[in-house]
Amino acid sequence: MIDYLAAILIAAIIIVGALFSLVAAIGLNRLPDLYTRMHAASKAGTVGSGLLLLAVGLHSGEFAIFIRALAGFVFFILTAPVSAHLLARAAHKVGYKLSPVSLQDDMNKK
Amino acid sequence: MIAPGLIVDYASVFALLALGLAFLLTVYRAVVGPTLPDRIIALDMLVGIVIGFIAVIALRSGYTLYIDIAISLGLVGFLATVAFARFILARGAVGEGEAHDFRGIRAEPVTQPGLENPPRAIKASKPAKPRASRRKEAK
């Protein structure tokens, strides 16, 4: 019984992670703007790959491998916002415009 | 009832299909993406999807050493994105119509007058006279 529960939990984590990655890719194509695409790529994409890593750690059943997978997940969660913020800041500083749909740009006051 | 190993197997096959679709969508954005930062974001996203691929392959094959490869790939992707951001900062503005900036310099004068006409008209009213006098002196 425990076997089935663990398998169903791992399968659910795998499916949710893959769907998060798919949603991130769809958002990357559907959103109008660099600054909004960054949300899809850095949030949903990170959670997708992180959940898949977590599923591997759970499936292996060994503590050392689970800790390693968890360390990878934490590493991605730490680095994704940093890189996305750096890229958005550079793009805004250089002068890439927001899409006309967006209402206000708080960084534009000089 | 299905064996517990088979449930995980089906889920991983579904994950491979979904990740492949996501990969193709992201490659489309990287090819089409109108500006350079769009392509860089798509590249960052590609690294994330490949990490998911590696995780699923590690789960299917049982070689958990793949997790270390995924971590090092994430490190390389992070460094690449940071370096690209510094490159955008160092390169400066190229122009709004970046879709055709690789075809040559001709894209610049077409896109700029529509954007910069109002500020130039205000500034150009005063220095317009000295320019005319310079031309007269030259003649």
Residue B65 lies in a domain: yes
Dihedral, CA of residue A67, residue A22, residue B39 and residue B114, to nearest 10 = -140
pLDDT in tens, A84-106: 999 999 998 888 888 888 888 88
Task: Name the region of B104 (left: φ>0; alpha: ψ -120 to 50; beta: rest).
Answer: left
Asked whether residue B8 carries a pLDDT value surpassing 60, the answer given is: yes
Q: What is the pTM of this model?
A: 0.78
Residue B75 lies in a domain: yes
Neighbours of A10 (CB within 10 A): 22
Asked whether residue A70 carries a pLDDT value surpassing 60, the answer given is: yes
Residue B48 lies in a domain: yes
Distance in angstroms (rounded) separating the CA atoms of residues A15 and B6: 14
Nearest by CB to A18, from B10, B18, B96: name it: B18
Mean pLDDT for B40-69 is 92
Residue B118 lies in a domain: no
Residue B81 lies in a domain: yes
Query: Which ipTM value was assigned to this complex?
Result: 0.90
pLDDT > 90 in chain A, percent: 65
pLDDT > 90 in chain B, percent: 50
pLDDT in tens, B68-102: 999 999 999 999 999 999 999 888 776 555 544 44
Residue B98 lies in a domain: no
**List of chain B residues whose C-beta atoms are within 8 Å of the C-beta of residue A68:** 64, 67-68, 71
Distance in angstroms (rounded) separating the CA atoms of residues A48 and A46: 5
**Full DSSP string of A44-64:** IHHHHHHHHHHHHHHHH--HH
Asked whether residue B118 carries a pLDDT value surpassing 80, the answer given is: no
Domain count, chain B: 1
Mean pLDDT for A54-61 is 91
Asked whether residue B3 carries a pLDDT value surpassing 90, the answer given is: no
Chain A interface mutation, best of B10, B24, B25, B54, highest count of A Cβ atoms under 10 Å: B25
pLDDT at A99: 83
Structural domain boundaries enclosing B64: 4-92
pLDDT at A109: 64
**List of chain A residues whose C-beta atoms are within 8 Å of the C-beta of residue B40:** 87
What value does the mean pLDDT of chain B take?
Answer: 76
**List of chain A residues whose C-beta atoms are within 8 Å of the C-beta of residue B97:** none
pLDDT at B1: 74
pLDDT at A97: 81
Mean pLDDT for A23-41 is 91
Please give the residue that has the higher pLDDT: either B93 or B54: B54
Alpha helices in chain A (DSSP H): 2-30, 34-39, 45-60, 63-94
Each domain of chain A, given as residue ranges in start order, spans 2-96
Is the CB of B76 inside 8 Å of chain A's CB atoms? no
Asked whether residue B29 carries a pLDDT value surpassing 60, the answer given is: yes
What is the least distance, in Å, from the CA of A108 to any CA of chain B?
16
Asked whether residue B110 carries a pLDDT value surpassing 50, the answer given is: no
Work out whether the CA dihedral B116, B119, B121, B123 comes out positive or negative.
negative
Residue B134 lies in a domain: no
Residue B116 lies in a domain: no
pLDDT at B59: 92
